[in-house]
Copies of this chain bind each other. A is one copy, B any other.
Amino acid sequence: MSISAMTSPYSSSKRAKMAAGQPISALMTQALENADLLSLAAGFVDEATLPTTVVRQACAEIMADQRAARAALQYGSTPGIPKLRSMLLERFLGEQSVPVANAPSVDQVVVTAGSNQLLHLIVESLLDPGDIVLCTEPTYFVFLGILANVGGRGQGVATDEHGMIPDSLDEQLKRIDAAGELGHVKAIYLVPYFDNPQGITTTPDRLARIVEIAKRWSIKHKIHVIADEAYRELRYEGPDYPSTRCYDEDGDTVIVAGTFSKSFSPGIRVGWGVLPSHLVDPVCEQKGNIDFGSPNFSQAIMTYVLEQGQFDDHVDGLLAGYAPKLQAMLDSADEFFGPIEGVTWTRPSGGLYIWARMPTGLDTGPEGPLFRRAIQEGMLYVPGQYCFPGEGEPVQLNTMRLSFGVQTIARIRQGMQALSRAICEAQAAGD
């Protein structure tokens, strides 16, 4: 073939240039491919808790009913199956211990392929390149990838064990305003319940203040609050706080993202958003252009499972499985990290993760002295640096996320012990 221009270069879009691979993808692949490596990295759910019986029954029932079977296998509408959306709304409203003012209608519930897609659609609808989202710090690294993909900027806000610190948020907005950048701030992002990566929960008084601050600083335009409630169901102890949406009396500021990926099955991959009404069309229009609607079959399964009341039973089983794993991780941390000077960690009451801080100066990154030693010792963690936005509060290189979802209690202990050996070796080597 003698085509003259055969060697002409591939010209990628600006957006493709901005998209970095999700660092976690590489870690997940590493974990999937190396069965011997004891991974406390991936946020996979516990295989043993996956609802095989419930889904088998749901599929059998749906497929046995000719009409339901055909509907499940046919195209659906972009926002999702109406029955599913109304049940999601009913659950959402029913979960709150305080009344939801300006209660959303079913039109404001949109079903997506996991909550990640909802986050993508929101970011796509709100941000132009150069725009800013203020995030808890550390924050969910996949969200940072979503931001980077559209040329958005994540800016970390100081965070303590009760979540994003409202006074720091307010101060930061003041500084941004003084720098003439307030017009770029489009949203505030937080994971209020048992967050990723720290496992911490934002207290209701803080949620109320964060919403108030977002509204007060909505001077040039509306600053939304994105409340990513992916882990709300995974509560092992303590009270269930109301959703951030409950503190948005006008109903025009808070976006709630939810998902069944953690509480039921990531392979079914049904997430949803409860949106301010002005965002419904933009989100659905984006979605129509991206995938023309999420798989109807997955939605039909979740509809059946919710209708039959099997979801709550499943969550009860999950909690019974995960609670002792969290305890095992905390016990192991006490046992193996406790004796090491300068190592601290969070003590979550839900979720799938704890966040550990190594002695100052010990870099946990993939090129640092600890990471390769941990792999040599047979375990894998998520380096904390992936969880820090590019701006705002400084990156803490001595941090890591540890997940207790996948491994057995014995292996959690083994992994934590292996990690403690790696820490001691790295400190001893002093490199």
By a beta-carbon cutoff of 8 Å, the part of chain A in contact with chain B is: 1, 3-6, 8-16, 19-22, 25, 28-29, 32, 42, 44-45, 47, 50-52, 55-56, 59-60, 63-64, 66, 69-78, 112-114, 116-117, 120, 124-128, 131, 142, 145-146, 148-150, 186, 212, 215-222, 249-250, 252, 261, 265-269, 276, 278-279, 281-282, 284-286, 288-298, 300-301
Contact = CB atoms under 8 A, between A and B. Distances in A.
Given A216-B3, A286-B19, A267 B56 contact: no
A281 B21 contact: yes
A116 to B, nearest CB: 5
Nearest to A52: B69
Contacts of A148: 289
B289 A149 contact: yes
A20 B285 contact: yes
Query: Could you say how many copies of this chain the assembly holds?
Result: 2
A285 B19 contact: yes
A268 B291 contact: no
A284 B301 CA distance: 27
A283 B47 CA distance: 29
Query: Which residue among A113, A120, A126, A290 has the maximum number of chain B CB atoms within 10 Å of its CB?
Result: A290
Contacts of A266: 73-75, 296
A249 B6 CA distance: 10
A60 B61 CA distance: 11
A12 B56 contact: no
Given A73-B267, A113-B291, A146-B289, A125 B221 contact: no
A120 B120 CA distance: 14
Nearest to A293: B269
A378 to B, nearest CB: 22
11 contacts: A3-B216, A3-B218, A3-B250, A8-B221, A16-B126, A25-B78, A29-B77, A50-B74, A52-B70, A56-B63, A269-B293
B76 A267 contact: yes
A219 B78 contact: no
Contact of A292 (B142, B221, B285): B142
Contacts of A297: 55, 265, 267-269, 297-298, 301
Nearest to A406: B74
B127 A13 contact: yes
Contacts of A75: 28, 42, 44-45, 261, 266-267
Given A113-B113, A266-B74, A296-B269, A11 B186 contact: yes
Contacts of A127: 13
A50 B69 CA distance: 9
Contact of A286 (B16, B220, B222, B284): B16
Nearest to A9: B221
Given A55-B69, A55-B297, A269-B297, 16 more contacts: A1-B215, A3-B250, A5-B218, A10-B276, A16-B124, A16-B125, A16-B286, A42-B75, A52-B66, A56-B59, A112-B291, A149-B285, A269-B291, A269-B295, A294-B295, A297-B297
Contacts of A60: 56, 59-60
Contacts of A5: 215-219
B77 A50 contact: no
Contacts of A114: 291-292
